Structure 1
Amino acid sequence: MRADDLILFSQVVEMGSFSKVAEANSLTNSVVSKRIARLEEELGVQLLYRTTRKLTLTEAGKALTHGAKNVKQATLEAMDAVSGFGENISGHIKMSVPCISGDLILADAVAEFCNMHPGLTVDMSLNNRFVDLIEGGYDLVIRTGYLEDSSLIARHILDSQWVVCASPTYIARNSKPARPEDLVNHNCLQYAYQTTGASEWEFKGEKGNYIVGVSGTFNTDNATALRKAALGGHGIAYVPRCLVYHDLRNGQLVDLFPEQVGKRLGVYAVYPFTRQPPNKVKLLIEHIRTRYLAISHYF
């Protein structure tokens, strides 16, 4: 069974006429008739009752209509998703991204995209606060966290897993906590950029996730500063894994609870509500998504 025959059948059902479908597709009536007949032959059922005045669906035709419409819709969406890829992209994009993602991948990815499209300029702000897209005039924002604003459209990119980690120096000096509850007896470095609270660390339990309230001497809203404090052996940090991926790999930091940390946040490309974003924004989102997925193991 050919998908294009299903799409043609869906058009016949919608338009109610072979001639109208033929005209819409620059075909002859006989070609449309032959393709519907081919579909009926392949399925082994009659789909339409044909009279000189009208076409009527058989029971089998009614059963096939929904699936045929889905094939047509999927085809249209697939074509829409890549529309503009062959066009020259120009103009300006104003965007905001989180500091960690900006340092890790987005600065390089966005600059690369600009070089691919010489007529395009991008103003990228690294900002951990949730900016107001409309008020700030942003075309695109990359956000990590929970999304509540229904006036925005979000494209999920991937999920970011958090880890609890410390340096071997800190562990040697203070011992390694055996379970999350032991963290109350340790110096916990707190990351202020958290919607759930810097001192509320989430873990997995048998009856669902639970919170351990921690405390410590150092609190910062800068992820790089938090990482350096952990590397210096000054305490235990609760951070996105992508921030310390290489430190964990080379042994400069130790993942204390590799299977127990409950915090996992989505990374989203967010833009103002519209039926379709401009092609330049749509293509930039796809470029960013591809670059994220290429290093998905970091997350």
Structure 2
Amino acid sequence: MPVLPDFEAWAIFARIAATGSFAATARELQLSTATVSKALQRLETRLGERLVHRTSRQVTLTEAGHALVARAARILAEGEAAETQAHAGASAPRGRVRLGAPMSFGLRHVAPALPDFLSRYSEMSIDLQLDDRVVDLVAGGVDIALRIGRLPDSSLLARRLCPVRRWVVGAPAYLARHGTPLHPDDLRRHACLGYSYLASGETWHFTGRDGEQVAVQVGGPLTATNADALAHAAEAGHGLALQPDFLAWEAVRDGRLVIVLPDWSAPEASLNLVTLPGGPRPPRIVVLLDFLAQRFAPGAVVWSRTLS
């Protein structure tokens, strides 16, 4: 197998030639004089040529040293230029970020926020992946994911953002025909619209203000993998739906849907920023994380401010 060039020794030789001193080179590079001397010896051994004449007072180049010093200087300069370029690139956010988000939340809240972000960072681009399923970040090549719910223990890094409440909602017309449930057990006699990716399936869990816990098996005319599909059916009066506040808040505000069972709460959830472990993160990841954390911080989201 070919042996790689000893770039460190070439760089040290270039500085010895420039300073004319082992001691000065050692001080400049923050190395010991012995380290500088050994690096030059390695290079001379590999080349089979003496590059400098050493005396107690000075260092002078041999004929071979004169022939090679320009190349050594170019090697050092190229290395310094590469590091300078890398540092410059690392300090300015640029490049593509793949961002994953749930379908309804992504369409209603993430996508409308991204033009503001892209206006601030013109050298960045975002690949927005919308899916209500939990996507493997590594397999999907996802840099950042927004996830809703309680996260299982894993090696992923999670940052909690705003809380997400779930309401049982129904259209006024539906409630006028079928009555308003007063206790979670009443839901057994109602048409309930099901979200396929709900962690508890067709069982809805509630906790009362007095701490009572109730689990209810529900069923109805429509089950869907997307909560927006349920919203249309609920507003049309086809049943009750357990909907997140970020999706139902406008319909509740405008009177198209009514919150029922207000004294009962579904399991607590939150919006989370999820990333792979490891670091340091490139600036393009850092600025998008900070932007999303600020946009969806507790108290900053529009549905929380409007209905509080």
Partner of 1:175: 179
Q: 1:278 aligns with which of 276, 282, 286?
A: 282
**Equivalent of 2:259 in 255, 272, 283:** 255
Q: Which amino acid aligns with 2:257?
A: L
CA distance in 2, matches of 1:292, 1:217: 34
Q: Is the counterpart of residue 137 in structure 1 residue 141 in structure 2?
A: yes
Matched, 1:295 2:295: no
- Following superposition of structure 1 onto structure 2, how do residues 85-234 of structure 1 map, counting pairs within 5 Å? 87-197=91-201, 199-205=202-208, 206-234=210-238
- Deviation string for 1:38-76 (max 9, x for gaps)? xxxxxxxxxxxxxxxxxxxxxxxxxxxxxxxxxxxxxxx
CA distance in 2, matches of 1:268, 1:213: 28
Match of 2:265, SS? Answer: coil
Does the 8 A contact of 1:200 with 1:212 survive in 2? yes
Deviations 1:97-125 (A, max 9, x none): 01121122101222321221111011001
| Distance apart, 1:254 and its partner CA | 0.5
The CA distance in 1 between the partners of 2:192 and 2:156, in whole Å, is 36
> What residue number does 1:266 align with?
270
Q: What amino acid maps onto 1:133 in structure 2?
A: L
State the TM-score, normalized to the length of structure 1. Answer: 0.67
The structural deviation recorded for 1:296 is 5.5
Does structure 2 retain, via aligned residues, the 8 Å contact 1:180–1:203?
yes
CA shift for structure 1 position 154: 0.7
Q: What is the alpha-carbon distance in structure 2 between the residues aligned to residue 282 and residue 245 of structure 1?
A: 31
Paired residues of 2:221 and 2:238 also in contact (CA < 8 A): no
* 1:203 and 1:263 in contact (8 A); partners too: yes
Code of the residue aligned with 1:156 in structure 2: it is R
Query: How many corresponding residue pairs?
Result: 214
Residue 246 of structure 1 aligns with which residue? 250
Change (3 A) 1:216 1:93: same
Paired with 1:196 and 1:279, the residues of 2 have a C-alpha distance of 38
1:280 Cα shift?
1.6
Work out the CA distance in 2 between the residues paired with 1:111 and 1:287. Answer: 12
Aligned partner of residue 296 in structure 2, secondary structure: helix
| TM-score, length basis structure 2 | 0.66
Contact 1:99 1:128 in 2 (8 A): yes
Deviates more, 1:203-212 or 1:225-234: 203-212
Provide the residue aligned with 2:5 in structure 1. none
- Report the counterpart of residue 66 of structure 1 in structure 2: none
Q: Tell me, which stretches of 5 or more residues in structure 2 are unaligned? A: 1-87
Which segment is superposed worse, 235-244 or 284-293?
Answer: 284-293
Residue type of the partner of 2:256?
Answer: Q
Q: 2:113 is matched by which residue type in structure 1?
A: A
**AA matched with 2:152:** E
Offset at residue 228 of structure 1 (A): 0.3
* In structure 1, C-alpha distance between the alignment counterparts of 2:274 and 2:302, rounded to whole Å: 19
Q: Whole-Å Cα distance in 1 between the matches of residues 189 and 165 of structure 2? A: 24
Unaligned regions of 5+ residues in structure 1, if any? 1-83
- Structure 1 Cα separation of the partners of residues 211 and 254 of structure 2: 34
Asked if structure 2 preserves the Cα contact closer than 8 Å seen for 1:88 and 1:117, the reply is no
Q: Which amino acid aligns with 1:202?
A: H
Say whether the 8 Å CA contact 1:92–1:121 is kept in structure 2.
yes
Partner amino acid for 1:200?
A: T
Q: Distance in 2 between matches of 1:149 and 1:125?
A: 23
Q: 1:179 to 1:238 in 2, by over 3 A?
A: same
Q: Which protein shows a greater Rg?
A: 2
Distance in 2 between the 1:258 and 1:154 partners?
30
- Cα RMSD of the aligned pairs, angstroms, is 2.0
- After TM superposition, the structure 1 = structure 2 runs for residues 7-86 of structure 1, keeping only pairs within 5 Å, are none
Deviation at 1:207, TM superposition (A): 4.0
Residue of structure 1 equivalent to 2:31 = none
